[in-house]
Amino acid sequence: MSDDAIPAPSLPLTGGCGCGAVRFEIDEPLVGAAYCHCTRCQHRSGTGFQASARAAPGSVRLTAGEEHLRAWSPGGLDKVFCALCGSAVLARQAGSGEIEIVRMAAIDGDPGIRPSARQFTAYAAPWEPIPDDGLPRHPERLPA
Ligand SMILES: [Zn+2]
Ligand SMILES: [Zn+2]
């Protein structure tokens, strides 16, 4: 799908976890999105893969429930979720706390962006075929 087919979202984007305790706002358009098939995403989400969006630096603000956030830190970015409901919400730098990634399912409404690639397809779940959607497939991490 080309970008001009996607309605421009009104900013800020809003979102949160499943139980509503954690809420956030995103002040700038998201800069990219992809599906991740890595085993960490499989475990985090309980699904075959998960869609995540990259936020512009400094554009994500937690507006409620920051005290309920917990992180899984297996390496790379901290994978941050709501301790009350278990929803995967975002990912941030372990040291600086900079929020780099927002889980697309946590965003309210249309985020104004679509996943444009699939990464870590070498680790895709054997029980879920990778959709034949024409998106580029990267066996390992997406090239920067
Ligand atoms: Zn929650
Ligand atoms: Zn992943």
82-96 tens-digit pLDDT = 999 999 999 999 999
ω into 57 cis (within 30 of 0): no
Could you give the residue ranges of the DSSP H alpha helices within the chain? 39-45
- Residue 8 banded pLDDT, cuts 50, 70, 90: confident
For residue 4, being part of any structural domain is answered with no
For residue 5, being part of any structural domain is answered with no
Percentage of the chain beyond pLDDT 70 is 97
Instruction: Taking residues 27-34, report their average pLDDT.
Output: 97
For residue 138, being part of any structural domain is answered with no
Q: Give 36 Cα–ligand 2 centroid separation in angstroms.
A: 4
User: What is the span of the domain harbouring residue 71?
Assistant: 12-125
Q: What is the pLDDT of residue 5?
A: 75
Q: CATH no. for residue 99?
A: 2.170.150.70
Is residue 6 over pLDDT 90? no
For residue 131, being part of any structural domain is answered with no
* Ligand with the closest atom to the CA of 49: 2
For residue 75, being part of any structural domain is answered with yes
Residues, CB within 5 angstroms of ligand 2 (ion): 36, 38, 41
CA distance 22 to 64: 5
Domain count for the chain, please give it. Answer: 1
Q: Give 15 Cα–ligand 1 centroid separation in angstroms.
A: 11
Tell me how long the chain is. Answer: 144
* Ligand with the closest atom to the CA of 120: 2
What pLDDT digit, counting tens, does each position of 112-137 carry?
A: 999 999 999 999 999 999 999 999 99
Q: Give 53 Cα–ligand 1 centroid separation in angstroms.
A: 19
- The mean of the pLDDT values for the chain is 95
Is residue 7 over pLDDT 90? no
For residue 130, being part of any structural domain is answered with no
CA distance 129 to 106: 24
Q: What is the pLDDT of residue 4?
A: 61
Q: Give 1 Cα–ligand 1 centroid separation in angstroms.
A: 32
What pLDDT digit, counting tens, does each position of 11-29 carry?
A: 999 999 999 999 999 999 9
Collapsing DSSP states into helix, strand and coil, what is residue 97? coil
For residue 78, being part of any structural domain is answered with yes
- Residue 3 banded pLDDT, cuts 50, 70, 90: low
* Ligand with the closest atom to the CA of 48: 2
Closest CA to 40 of 9, 84, 74: 74
Q: Which amino acid is at 31?
A: V
For residue 116, being part of any structural domain is answered with yes
Instruction: Taking residues 59-78, report their average pLDDT.
Output: 97
CA distance 16 to 105: 9
